[in-house]
Amino acid sequence: MEEKEKPRLSRLTAIITQLQSKRLITARYLAEKHNVSIRTIYRDISTLEKSGIPIITEEGKGYSLMEGYQLPPILFTEDEANALITAEQLVLKNKDRSFSENYSNAITKIKSVLKYSQKGKADLLADRIYFGENHKYEKSSNYLMKIQSAITNFQLLEIEYLSLKNKLSERRIEPFALYSNKGNWLLIAFCQLRNEFRAFRIDLIQKLISKNETFNPHDMTLEQYFELFHKK
């Protein structure tokens, strides 16, 4: 009996952490994560609820924790949280499984102590960052944090951009996603001047201003962007 209770106790603890790390999580995800049946997850959720954990059930969608419920007394700024999410995507590309899995587990614990409003932004940013192969050192810039914040807050940006042909232009852009390719950070954004999506190398941005204006989110995933535009 004692040997059976140990893995369940460990699983219950992990479920609490996973519930804290996301705004919404499904029973199927938890079942696959812990290699148990969905029925077992239902029993686990019931046990946690009876123990006083404020779990909210959204029928047909999943589970979440009551807003404001937080065990560890740790708070991160939005820039700190964004930096952690960016690092996670890079580490997940590492060829050493033990390194990537342990880092991913550590990040899950860190996500669990983010403020409620930060969790959705963290999930969004994780889906909007892509790392390609990098055979050279990253080129530096001072705008990555501002761009990340603009992506998650759907905030309009004004930039001065110096093209590879040495032409300077001013653009109003709606930032969509980031990816790194061949040592360069690129920002995918809808350019209001050209009325289409464009990719801007961040190291070629000469000036960036975050406007107090928002835009409507683009109904498209990063994968769909690559399918529609990147292969052209």
Domain extent listing, the chain: 2-65, 78-127, 144-230
Confidence of residue 70 (pLDDT cuts 50, 70, 90): low
CATH code for the part of the protein at 144-230: 2.30.30
Six token digits for residue 90: 């890079």
- The pLDDT of residue 124 is 84
Reported confidence tier of residue 6, pLDDT bands at 50, 70, 90: very low
Confidence of residue 192 (pLDDT cuts 50, 70, 90): very high
Mean pLDDT check: name the lowest of 17-21, 131-135, 205-209.
Answer: 131-135
Q: 108-143: per-residue pLDDT in tens?
A: 877 776 777 777 887 888 888 877 764 444 446 788
- Mean pLDDT value of segment 22-51: 90
**What is the percent of the chain with per-residue pLDDT over 90, rounded to a whole number?**
34
Residue 118 C-beta-side C-alpha neighbours within 13 Å:
20
Of 23-37, 82-96, 115-129, which range is least confident?
Answer: 82-96
Q: Which helix (H) or strand (E) holds 184?
A: strand 184-191
Q: How many CA atoms lie within 13 A of 15 on its CB side?
A: 32
CATH code that applies to domain 2-65:
1.10.10.10
pLDDT for the residue numbered 162: 95
pTM of structure: 0.55
Q: For residue 179, is pLDDT > 50?
A: yes
Average pLDDT on 195-224 reads: 92
Q: Is the pLDDT of residue 95 over 70?
A: no
Distance CA(16)–CA(112), nearest Å, equals: 9
Work out the pLDDT band at 196, boundaries 50, 70, 90: very high
Is the Cβ–Cβ distance between 133 and 182 less than 8 Å?
A: yes
Tell me the average pLDDT across 204-229: 91
Mean pLDDT computed over 8-13? 80
